[in-house]
Chain A
Amino acid sequence: MASAVADRAWRQSTPERIEPDLAALWRDLARPDQPIARAVMSNLVVFCSPTDADHADAGAITVPLGLNDVAALHPSRLIVLEHEPGRRTPDAPFAAGVGIITFGPPHARYGVELIVVRSACAEASLPSIVRRFVRGDLPTTVWWTEDLSTTSPLDALVTMGRQLLYDSRRWDDLRRGVSALAPLVAGRRVDLADLNWRRLSPLRQALEHAAGPAGSTSRHEVTVRIVHRRGEAALAWLLAASLLATRDHAAGAAPEIEESQDDDAVLSVVIRHGTGETTATLTSHSVVVAQGSAPPFVVGVPIASEGDAVAAELRTLSHDSRLDDAIDALARWFAVA
């Protein structure tokens, strides 16, 4: 459970005045009887499209993006880049604002820094903008809040971070989303973190448990059939890829994936291997796995907000090679299909 925001200090700034204005906000917040600590464990560069909203206060930016929860759970320097892609002229950001989100009781306050810059410039300009504001000695995550199947990740920006965070659930076009990520996977240039993939964790773990130690090395032909709820196609394909990617499957052995008409389960999967069959169903609160005549087993699904999930990914410093393998498998299937 994230701590509640105690206060938000905010001031309009200019790109050149961001650091001095932040320093001034800290000085304003510091009181001899109520100390405040600066909390920062990483940089979170939040890429989003420009909004029409007038940034009258920090809440106008943090609430729609769910940044308060993220800041409470994993205090990060929040750098919101409202960027209009597609421009060819290099230029400085045209507007900026700074804020400090404070948490904790009066005797133990801590604050998280927020920087907002609005830019409409060539991609080549972005590294010098982002480099100015990140704390280089901390891990940096770029959170692509846009649908990256329609707004392709900007290479110059994404590769500045250690980690690219996105949510494939937002994808309009699965193939384009996969194709946008494929070069990053091929070059191992950045750690990928997909919030949708994270939702699959309980199901993947349950299936691994069901398969047992021999599961991953089985030489049997495996077929996979997945039925998913409307809007969960990406989840279904990711599951299929995770099941088949490590089995050295031929391109032609793509899984059967269908959209369900009822909304009970997020998705269900039937895996046939040799004479055996495993069925698993993912709902919002559990995973139920059935295998042959054995009684089914149930695994709980943690209740997690988007803020919880983002914070958990920020804490992950290791490379998720299974996600890479899944994307690589999807890219190969889509290339053939």
Chain B
Amino acid sequence: MTIVIFGGNGDLAHRKLLPALYNLHVDGLLPPRIAIAGVGRKDTPDAAYREFAKDGITKFSRRPIDEQAWQTFAAMLFFVKASLDGEQVLAPLGARLDIIEHERGLPGDRIYYFALPPALFVPTVKQLDRARFVNRTGDPVARLIVEKPIGRDLDSARAVNDAIAGVFDERQIYRIDHYLGKETVQNILVMRFANSIFEPLFNQKYVDHVQITVAEEEGVGTRAGYYEQAGALRDMVQNHMLQLVALVAMEPPHALDADVIRDEKLEVLESLRPIEGAAIDANVVRAQYAAGFDLGKPVPGYREEQGVDPCSRTETFVALQIFIDNWRWAGVPFFLRTGKRLPKRASEISVHLKEVPPILFNANPAARLDPNVLSVRIQPDEGFSLGISSKLPGPHVRVYPVKMDFHYGSTFGGSSPEAYERLLLDVIAGDPTLFMRRDAVEAAWRWVMPILERWAETTTDSLPAYPAGDWGPVEAGQLVESTGRRWRAL
């Protein structure tokens, strides 16, 4: 197997891909015969590329570098210079890969990883086609990994998917959403379908509402160029968050087969109630962070960030109330919020069960009991907890909210594999379960398009703001409070 990383000397390869491959190597999970070839425009000798990889592993790997393991890993690493401009530009890459594979006795099975800006997806896939790198028969194996975002709207997503589909068969395409590789996200299915206590409760009869929060403490940083064109809805909601909604809300699949699971997730996406017209203003809040504080330090507002248009209307925060119009979830609101420069990095799904009747221990209207909440902490502090009411020890009956807490770190010890480790391993094994299928990507785009279109039309009203370090604008609070609920504090 040869893993060919386009954008091999880029940030993603440095921070994520090479450390992930190194950890898979240390764990003995890579195939015994493998080569990893970084591809990029810069002329980089293999030795220099190995140093680049070592630096990334030293800084970003979940475990410290082991010199012996590193030596064997480094021997698998190569770099090939290639440009995408012109005809047959990948021929030298093909020649070099042939040599590497021949020398190492590799059969020519390849994984092509597009760690590239989205604008280069289509040109690169066309070059792969021109160079006849791809065989749809699957012998030798040719697989493609594409990073999100797939397009910036439905039309462009279709264009990218069409271009890729012209070269690769759908079963050869792995659209990566690294959220889906996280242990805790995978655990959602285990928690729901391997425990008889939870699944019977996951429906409109018992669930009052669901909240999903993906909070980042960082600002836009060095990604202003990308983020100005994207915004929180495209960057987070269209992909990560709707995937989380699908996992929480899907019906039990009849098998742990990739397409069975992905069919069930698609069902959820297709059952999302469209938000259109005036309903968008009532159910979707967007905002930008203003100047504030990050862990005590003053930080600028979004429009003052380097590379950001001082008149930018790009949203750094979005909150939504959505509904899934199917039998299971009829009438249950799902509240989603995501944003930059929030108080802390925290991703969590919380399932809020209905209140107990207002009698017995819940009889005092001034001191209602906290409803039970099942919360799945995706990152950091991975685990899940169930909030329950318990009697405080002592002679009086006093009720106190306590948590039954499962915490990965203190339960299993050791460090969990990074999402990219799991996902790369799945591609090597040919298992697409945790990857997005074309129909799901396009269904998600189809659902967010009315919101994007309305926002594009509405350019005169002022955008709500929230101070950096706060949990979003007051309008986001009102969105939930108008239904008699409130955002869960994290």
Contact = CB atoms under 8 A, between A and B. Distances in A.
B458 to A, nearest CB: 31
Majority secondary structure, A binding face = mixed
A38 interface: yes
Contacts of B469: 127-128, 131
A262 B400 CA distance: 43
A41 B375 CA distance: 15
Interface stretch (A22-30, A58-66, A220-228, A323-331): A22-30
B195 interface: no
A20 B62 CA distance: 11
A19 B405 contact: no
A36 B410 contact: yes
B293 interface: yes
Nearest to B410: A26
Interface stretch (A118-126, A202-210, A236-244, A251-259): A118-126
A91 B297 CA distance: 4
A128 B367 contact: no
A124 B292 CA distance: 9
Most chain B CB within 10 A, of A132, A139, A315, is at A132
A32 B413 contact: yes
Nearest to A135: B490
Contact of B381 (A19, A129, A136, A318): A19
B488 A136 contact: yes
A151 to B, nearest CB: 19
B460 interface: no
Given A27-B415, A30-B412, A315-B400, A37 B405 contact: yes
Interface in B372-425: 373, 375, 380-381, 387, 392, 398, 400-403, 405, 407, 409-415
Which of A32, A128, A132, A315: most chain B Cβ within 10 A?
A: A128
Contacts of B298: 90
B296 A30 contact: no
A41 B295 contact: no
B413 A125 contact: no
A177 interface: no
A285 B181 CA distance: 61
Interface string A31-55: 1100111101100000000000000
B344 interface: yes
Nearest to A129: B296
A137 interface: yes
Contacts of B392: 315
B294 interface: yes
B367 A318 contact: yes
Contact of A16 (B295, B367, B403, B412): B295
A136 B490 contact: yes
Interface in A259-307: none
B413 A30 contact: yes
Contact of B489 (A41, A132, A137, A318): A137
B343 interface: yes
A26 B383 CA distance: 13
A128 B409 contact: no
Contact of B293 (A35, A36, A90): A90
A180 interface: no
Contacts of B387: 137
A337 interface: no
A92 interface: yes
A111 B217 contact: no
A30 B411 contact: yes
A265 to B, nearest CB: 28
B296 A38 contact: no
A221 B296 CA distance: 54
A214 interface: no
Nearest to B415: A27
B99 to A, nearest CB: 42
B375 A128 contact: no
Nearest to B292: A128
Interface string B291-309: 0111111100000000000
Contacts of B415: 27
Nearest to B298: A90
Contacts of A97: none
A107 B263 CA distance: 44
A329 to B, nearest CB: 24
A35 B295 contact: no
Contacts of A127: 293, 469
B297 A125 contact: yes
Give the interface centre of A30, A31, A93, A318 by most chain B CB atoms within 10 Å: A30
Nearest to A100: B410
Nearest to A91: B296
B444 to A, nearest CB: 29
B409 A132 contact: no
A40 B403 contact: yes
A331 B303 CA distance: 47
Contact of B296 (A40, A41, A119, A318): A119
Interface in A309-331: 315, 317-318
Contacts of A153: none
Contact of A132 (B295, B381, B407): B295
A99 interface: no
Contacts of B398: 315
A141 B292 CA distance: 24
Contact of A125 (B296, B402, B490): B296
Nearest to B294: A128
A125 B293 contact: yes
Given A23-B381, A318-B367, A38 B295 contact: no
Nearest to A37: B410
Contacts of A37: 405, 407, 410
Contacts of A128: 292-296, 343, 469
Contact of B409 (A15, A30, A124, A139): A30
A117 to B, nearest CB: 9
A114 to B, nearest CB: 15
Interface in B49-90: none
B339 to A, nearest CB: 14
B295 A15 contact: yes
A129 B292 CA distance: 12
B403 A23 contact: no
Interface of A: 15-16, 19-20, 23, 26-32, 35-38, 40-41, 90-93, 111, 119, 121, 124-129, 131-132, 135-139, 315, 317-318
6 contacts: A27-B413, A27-B414, A30-B411, A119-B296, A128-B295, A317-B367
Interface of B: 217, 292-298, 343-344, 367, 373, 375, 380-381, 387, 392, 398, 400-403, 405, 407, 409-415, 469, 488-490
Given A19-B380, A27-B410, A137-B387, 14 more contacts: A26-B407, A27-B413, A27-B414, A28-B413, A35-B411, A38-B405, A38-B410, A41-B402, A119-B296, A125-B296, A128-B469, A137-B403, A137-B488, A137-B490
7 nearest A-B residue pairs (beta carbon) = A136-B489, A30-B413, A26-B409, A128-B293, A125-B296, A128-B469, A131-B343
